[in-house]
Structure 1
Amino acid sequence: MSGQNLDLLGFGDDRPETPDDTREDGAGRPPRRRLRRVLTVVGVLVLLVVLVVGGFVGYLGWRVSDNVTQADLLPTVPPPTVAADGTPITIGPDKGTNFLLVGSDSRGADRGRADVIVLVHVPEDPQTIQMVHFPRDLFVSIPGHGKNKINAAYAFGGEPLLVETIQDLVGIRIDHVARTDFEGFKGMTDAVGGVRVYAEEGNSATGNGGLAIKKGWNELNGEQALAFVRERYQLSEGDISRGRRQMAFVKALLLKATSAETVRNPLAIARFTDAATKNLVVDRGLSVGTMKDYALELRDIRGSDVVFATAPFTGFGTDPTAGSIDIVDEKGMALLGEALREDTMDDYLDVFVTP
């Protein structure tokens, strides 16, 4: 598995630190208690911040309840019991929790295809949280629809079919699902006064909403953040490079949202919470009450505890129906599934990731 297939973004490398990376609690952070469940990524961004300021919990709890929508996002079929090659697999109940975060960039009434597909794995006793980005052009088998790009599963059958597709591809169980849209990212960015994000490669303003990005650190407001995460045509690996940008943006937003500058500003917290939850849809098993209960368990999580990776692929190709595709690394995907099922993602990343 090559370094291009599964890469860490912004951790353990020689990039200059952003000021938001500096922790104020020193080395005396208390040990984390065992997590039985965890929030979706957007829930982490919202509730980790708001619970720091106790006086706003009541108001924000009401606001979140008013904004968040629950829907049938999980499939009715059980997760697989055999891998794609016929090998039996066991999916136990006590090996961490898997969430699927879906980001839609449909700019009209149609559902369109999912533009951000991220599997969030929280170990049973976490030291890190792993976020695995699935490129939208990954060429996979979609139940009932043959082979196509993975984001076509969302167009064909919404979140339930997308969940079923990923469960079959990786051989895992997905416990919860959350969907947001790019407008939510825009609102969250503006609510915290913009973000400072690292770009692995730059692009000109042409064809990118008039926004030029330089290689290195960039200060972005909400509108600029949208252009940053949408661009792919000027990037060296197209959809893969765009996915890396999206994960870099999520990291930057997480760091800014949990920074002292934000948590000491009640108005910023209120604006951020409203923006983050306004277009948030979660599965029916993830109530706001459950989010608040388990948010208390996440108050020690920091941005540097979140590790980003890309699902394994071997290269690029074309298909008569799907067009340009990313070819799945079957062996790598099987190893990824084993690590998720056995709750050994840290070990897996140590072996298969080139920092």
Structure 2
Amino acid sequence: MNRMQARKKKRMKKKGVIFLSLLLLIGAGVIFWVYQYNQGFTEAVDSTVKDKEFDLFEGEEPKFGEINVMLLGSDARKDEDGRSDTLIVANYNQKTEKVKLISIMRDTYVSIPGHGKQKMNAAFSIGGPELVRQTLKENFDLDVHYYAIVDFNGFPKMVDLIAPDGIEVEIPYTMQHGIGMTLQPGKQTLHGEQLLGYVRFRHDKMSDFGRVARQQEALSKLKDEAVGFHSLVNLPKLLGTADAYVNTNLDKKTILSIAKGILENKSGSLDTMRIPVDHSFVDRDVNVGQVLDIDFEKNIQAIDDFLNPTVDTAADTTKDDQSQD
């Protein structure tokens, strides 16, 4: 064997070693992914929403690269149809990878198709996610393409995977009634169960407005935590846990696309808004209880400005932000 043939043989051997190493690395990665995913899924023993069936969801296909996902927080127990404890529409722009959240107050007085005037959170118990979609379209001209119903039993587990060191919040006063724990006032670092109590506490001095603000705060801080290295490592287990505690019609490809955008932190900070907006509603007592009777025209315009800001609107927002600093 001459020198040239020896070198060629050596190069082939080196390439073979590299190729084999890559195969082993990929194989180990797949095994790790499947193991972590299955571990997250099998640890979910108390899910109340995963196997629940609903009427056909008739959301349209997304247009213009924007996806609206209806996030419903379920407080139902097994074999029960609870009202949606939380309703948030998450807007995801596939081009900018920006995420925006619209929280709809549960006591908003709306027309539920086929069922007259009711509180917003009644739509879910009456007709599941499809009736919520129809209600949002009829009252706010808001198209929702997908839904995701999150079982609150799984919230603490997902929080601890995303933020193992906890989430820091400023608690304004003692919170304890109805949450099975006592949260002391002041700056606190909350883990899964505690953070669930923090976002679900209903006896707020600001009524339900405070609870919605806390929910948006928690989601924003969890999103910031999700870009860390530990979240990338825990992603398979997080997806497995979410698969067990979330009932959704989102396909896996779209879920991974959104997760990738968030984890790469291209989307920046979360933009949030609350419906009804300030100075657009009055409190009323009606046959279904205390409600927020809102100016729909003003709120529809606010949603449109939030999702499709003009140059002037964006400039005004920046100016307002700077004036608050």
The TM-score, its normalising length taken from structure 1, stands at: 0.67
Q: Classify 1:123/1:293 alpha carbon distance in 2 versus 1 (closer, same or farther; 3 Å).
A: closer
Aligned residue for 2:222?
253
C-alpha separation between the residues in 2 aligned to 1:351 and 1:140? Answer: 31
Aligned residue for 1:229?
199
Query: Does residue 131 of structure 1 match 2:101?
Result: yes
Q: What amino acid maps onto 2:166 in structure 1?
A: V
Conservation of the 8 A alpha-carbon contact between 1:123 and 1:343: no
Q: Find 2:272's aligned residue among 276, 290, 308.
A: 308
Aligned residue for 1:282?
248
Aligned residue for 1:196?
167
1:136 Cα deviation from its structure 2 partner: 0.8
Q: How does 1:44-59 map to 2 (within 5 A)?
A: 56-57=32-33, 59=35
1:113 Cα deviation from its structure 2 partner: 0.4
1:132 Cα deviation from its structure 2 partner: 0.6
Aligned residue for 1:100?
70
Aligned length: 283
RMSD: 3.5
C-alpha separation between the residues in 2 aligned to 1:195 and 1:302? Answer: 23
1:205 Cα deviation from its structure 2 partner: 3.2
C-alpha separation between the residues in 2 aligned to 1:183 and 1:226? Answer: 9
Q: Classify 1:149/1:71 alpha carbon distance in 2 versus 1 (closer, same or farther; 3 Å).
A: same
1:190 Cα deviation from its structure 2 partner: 2.9
Aligned residue for 2:117?
147
| Cα shift readout 1:79-120 (whole Å, capped 9, x = no counterpart) | 8xxxxxxxxxxx993262211111111245312100110111
Conservation of the 8 A alpha-carbon contact between 1:106 and 1:113: yes
Q: Find the residue that maps to 2:181 and give its secondary structure.
A: coil
Q: What amino acid maps onto 2:298 in structure 1?
A: G
| Cα shift readout 1:202-251 (whole Å, capped 9, x = no counterpart) | 33435542322424x42112221221111121x12211111111121222
Q: Classify 1:70/1:105 alpha carbon distance in 2 versus 1 (closer, same or farther; 3 Å).
A: closer
C-alpha separation between the residues in 2 aligned to 1:93 and 1:189? Answer: 31
Q: Classify 1:107/1:242 alpha carbon distance in 2 versus 1 (closer, same or farther; 3 Å).
A: farther
Rg larger in 1 or in 2? 2
Q: Find the residue that maps to 1:160 and give its secondary structure.
A: helix
Conservation of the 8 A alpha-carbon contact between 1:199 and 1:218: yes
Conservation of the 8 A alpha-carbon contact between 2:110 and 2:120: yes
Q: Find 2:154's aligned residue among 178, 181, 184.
A: 184
Aligned residue for 1:10?
none
Conservation of the 8 A alpha-carbon contact between 1:194 and 1:222: no
Q: Find 1:165's aligned residue among 135, 138, 143.
A: 135
| Cα shift readout 1:41-61 (whole Å, capped 9, x = no counterpart) | xxxxxxxxxxxx966445567
1:298 Cα deviation from its structure 2 partner: 4.8
C-alpha separation between the residues in 1 aligned to 2:281 and 2:261? Answer: 40
Q: Find the residue that maps to 2:144 and give its secondary structure.
A: coil
Aligned residue for 1:36?
none
C-alpha separation between the residues in 1 aligned to 2:86 and 2:286? Answer: 24
Aligned residue for 2:190?
220
Query: Does residue 318 of structure 1 match 2:284?
Result: yes
C-alpha separation between the residues in 2 aligned to 1:70 and 1:344? Answer: 38
Q: Classify 1:352/1:214 alpha carbon distance in 2 versus 1 (closer, same or farther; 3 Å).
A: same
Q: How does 1:12-161 map to 2 (within 5 A)?
A: 56-57=32-33, 59=35, 75-76=57-58, 93-94=63-64, 96-123=66-93, 125-126=95-96, 128-161=98-131
Conservation of the 8 A alpha-carbon contact between 1:75 and 1:164: no
Q: What amino acid maps onto 2:195 in structure 1?
A: A
Aligned residue for 1:240?
209
Query: Does residue 209 of structure 1 match 2:180?
Result: yes
Conservation of the 8 A alpha-carbon contact between 1:179 and 1:282: yes
The TM-score, its normalising length taken from structure 2, stands at: 0.73
Q: What amino acid maps onto 2:213 in structure 1?
A: R
| Cα shift readout 1:296-322 (whole Å, capped 9, x = no counterpart) | 455423674322221234344233322
Show structure 1 runs of 5+ residues with no match: 1-52, 80-90
Query: Does residue 343 of structure 1 match 2:308?
Result: yes
The structure with the largest helix share of the pair is 2
Q: What amino acid maps onto 1:325 in structure 2?
A: V
C-alpha separation between the residues in 2 aligned to 1:202 and 1:138? Answer: 26
Show structure 2 runs of 5+ residues with no match: 1-27, 45-49
